[in-house]
Structure formats: structure tokens, C-alpha cells
């Protein structure tokens, strides 16, 4: 548990396990406890009570050992803008005690991997936003960490740079044999990259599973029917209830929302029932449940601009964050 001055309890017992070589996403609104979780697991902060482990090593007892095992890419840019990409990587490697010869080849490999080879001898301040972010990620990898913490790696990037960063990240887990814990502002990012994710709210873990599992827990697709006229709420509801298999029916003006097990096969029946009841329809939309729906259900409010995601990964065993 971590209590900041003013006695705000940030975390109240979170525990999760991440399979080696996979990407784990951690989602939750601002203040949910994601950043605190990452800070504790990366040895930046100490919890007031409880324990935390990364790759089987106690974060509180042996922070130095944990530091050698993890890489960290913070939300804020962490490269030195006055130095070149190569100088940045060399300094980082020397701080980790990477032997001279290995450091040179490792730096070159990372520069090539992230497409920074051509600008490696120029000051990083002149790089594009996407290149600077890649340099940040490369800095986190110089010492071949077992676990990499990526704190909102694509926030502030343009769509093209974001797409490019996504492909780098998904390749990383495989190529570098590294377990990645990802936090992000974007639900689609977590959906695309993470094989497992957890939703944190008010310092508690409220849901955990693969994006698909979490979505299928919502049981079924959303259908939305537009009517030609409003004011037939009860009539529509009774008709659909009688049809069976249609749940969570909401009628608002001319819009009807409901959930069905299988959207495509349910729609003909729904349309036929409405028609025979004398209700005219203008359009029908079917949508698979999205992470937004998952989020809405577990966090109890829509996923807004102020929300974040985070993901965490642990190499072998369990990463446990402060219990009470």
C-alpha cells in the first residue's frame, strides 16, 4: 500500500502475473493507481506497506538487482537532447556496466532496429517526435532487460509514428524475449498490443483477462436500431422482450439499443418482429463489444480523455503490488 502525504491511499492490493515474452496492458482512469504501480515496480517509489516482486525478486529488499533486470520508458522524454543518439545509448550502457565491445554492437543493433542509424551522430533535440520516442525505447533496452515498462509510449505521437511504434513494440516482445508492461491512453492500443490486460480503478484491480475474454464476458453484440418515429417505447420493448434472446433494451427517442448473443443471426428476427408490430425501421447497426464497453462496465464510467492505460509484465513469476 502506498499512502502519499495527506493520507491518500493510492493502492489497496493488486496482484497479477504475466507470462514471459508477452505484452500486458494495465488500464484505468487518472488517479486509478497505474502510475503508482509502475513507480513501485521500477523502484522509483517505496510503498508504505505490502510487498512487490518483479521476476521473483523483491523490489523493496533488493532494488539494485531489480534495476538490472528491468528497462523503463517513462511517460516524459528521457533521452538527453544535447547528446546524439549514439552518445545517449553509450552513456546508458556504461551506467549499467555493459562491457565496452558489447555496448558498441548493441547500440548499433538498436539504432538499426529503430531506424535511427542515419541520424545517430546528430543531436537528439533535432529528431522528429517519433524518432525521439524510439530513442527512449532503445535506451530502455540497452542492457537487455527481462522486463520492460512502457509508460504511455505513443502519447503525443502523430498517427503514422504511432502505427510505426506499435509494430516496433509488438516485434520487441518476440525479438528481444522481453516481457512488456504497457500503459497507454488508448484503448485501441491495448486491444492491439496486449495479450493480457488488467483494469485498475480506485487503486483496486477490477478486471483481468485477455482483451477477447473481457469482451466476450459482455455476452454478445450490441445492436442499434433507428426508428422512423419516436414515442413507441413500451410497444417496442414489449415486442422485443416477447421475441426472446434480446437483453438490455434501451429506447431513447428514435434509437433502440440492445444486446444479443449473435448479432448477425438475431437481426432478421428483430426486424420481422418490429415490422409485424407496425414499427417502421430506417437502419440497423451491429457492433462487436469493444474495450470501451468493457471499460464502461468495470470502471462504471465511460473511458474519457483523462484516462490512462497501463500494462505491466513480469518475466517469470508474479508481480505483486502492495496488499494491505
Question: Which positions touch other proteins (CB under 8 A)?
Answer: 39, 42-46, 64, 67-68, 70, 72, 74-83, 87, 91-92, 94-97, 123, 136, 139
Q: Name which of 96 and 257 has its Cβ closer to other proteins.
A: 96
Q: Name which of 86 and 259 has its Cβ closer to other proteins.
A: 86
Q: Name which of 83 and 284 has its Cβ closer to other proteins.
A: 83
Show the 3-state SS of 176-217: CCCEEEEECCCHHHHHHHCCEEEEEECCEEEEEECHHHHHHC
Burial of 41: CB neighbours in 10 Å, binned 0-12, 13-18, 19+: buried
Q: Name which of 182 and 232 has its Cβ closer to other proteins.
A: 182
The one-character DSSP state at 15 is E
To other proteins, the closest distance from the beta carbon of 202 in angstroms equals: 22
Whole-angstrom CA distances from 323 to 13, 113, 146, 204 are 4, 39, 24, 10
Q: Name which of 97 and 278 has its Cβ closer to other proteins.
A: 97
Q: Name which of 42 and 107 has its Cβ closer to other proteins.
A: 42
Q: Name which of 64 and 234 has its Cβ closer to other proteins.
A: 64
Burial of 153: CB neighbours in 10 Å, binned 0-12, 13-18, 19+: buried
Burial of 267: CB neighbours in 10 Å, binned 0-12, 13-18, 19+: middle
- Nearest CA to 115 among 188, 171, 77, 58? 171
To other proteins, the closest distance from the beta carbon of 266 in angstroms equals: 50
Cα distance between residue 256 and residue 234, in whole Å: 11
To other proteins, the closest distance from the beta carbon of 209 in angstroms equals: 29
Whole-angstrom CA distances from 172 to 148, 211, 212, 273 are 10, 20, 22, 51
- Nearest CA to 145 among 107, 101, 96? 96
Q: Which helix (H) or strand (E) holds 218?
A: none
- 57-58 and 204-209 as β-strands: parallel, antiparallel, unpaired? unpaired
- 179-183 and 23-29 as β-strands: parallel, antiparallel, unpaired? parallel
Q: Name which of 77 and 245 has its Cβ closer to other proteins.
A: 77
Cα distance between residue 263 and residue 283, in whole Å: 14
C-alpha cell at 282: 430506417
To other proteins, the closest distance from the beta carbon of 48 in angstroms equals: 11
Amino acid at each position: 500500500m502506498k499512502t502519499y502525504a495527506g493520507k491518500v491511499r493510492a493502492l489497496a492490493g493488486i496482484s497479477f502475473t504475466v507470462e514471459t515474452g508477452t505484452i500486458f496492458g494495465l488500464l484505468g482512469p487518472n488517479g486509478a493507481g497505474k502510475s503508482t504501480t509502475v513507480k513501485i515496480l521500477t523502484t522509483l517509489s517505496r510503498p508504505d506497506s505490502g510487498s512487490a516482486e518483479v521476476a521473483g525478486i523483491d523490489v523493496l529488499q533488493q532494488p539494485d538487482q531489480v534495476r538490472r533486470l528491468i528497462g523503463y520508458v517513462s511517460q516524459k522524454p528521457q533521452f538527453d537532447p544535447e547528446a546524439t543518439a549514439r552518445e545517449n545509448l553509450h552513456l546508458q550502457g556504461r551506467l549499467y556496466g555493459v562491457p565496452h565491445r558489447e555496448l558498441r554492437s548493441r547500440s548499433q543493433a538498436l539504432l538499426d532496429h529503430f531506424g535511427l542509424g542515419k541520424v545517430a551522430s546528430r543531436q537528439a533535440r533535432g529528431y522528429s517526435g517519433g524518432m525521439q520516442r524510439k530513442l527512449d525505447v532503445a535506451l530502455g533496452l540497452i542492457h537487455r532487460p527481462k522486463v520492460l515498462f512502457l509508460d504511455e509510449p505513443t502519447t503525443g505521437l502523430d498517427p503514422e509514428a504511432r502505427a510505426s511504434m506499435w509494430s516496433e513494440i509488438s516485434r520487441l516482445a518476440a525479438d528481444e524475449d522481453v516481457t512488456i508492461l504497457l500503459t497507454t491512453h488508448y484503448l485501441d492500443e491495448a486491444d492491439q498490443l496486449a495479450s493480457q490486460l488488467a483494469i485498475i480503478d480506485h487503486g483496486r484491480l477490477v478486471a483481468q483477462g485477455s482483451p477477447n475474454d473481457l469482451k466476450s464476458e459482455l455476452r454478445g453484440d450490441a445492436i442499434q436500431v433507428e426508428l422512423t418515429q419516436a414515442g413507441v417505447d413500451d410497444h417496442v420493448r414489449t415486442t422485443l422482450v416477447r421475441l426472446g434472446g434480446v437483453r438490455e433494451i434501451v429506447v431513447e427517442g428514435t434509437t433502440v439499443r440492445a444486446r444479443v448473443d449473435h448479432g448477425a443471426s438475431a437481426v432478421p428476427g428483430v426486424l420481422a418482429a418490429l415490422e409485424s408490430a407496425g414499427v417502421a425501421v430506417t437502419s440497423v447497426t451491429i457492433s462487436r463489444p469493444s474495450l470501451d464497453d468493457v471499460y464502461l462496465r468495470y470502471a462504471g464510467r465511460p473511458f474519457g480523455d483523462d484516462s490512462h492505460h497501463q500494462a505491466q509484465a513480469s518475466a517469470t513469476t508474479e508481480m505483486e503490488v502492495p496488499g494491505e
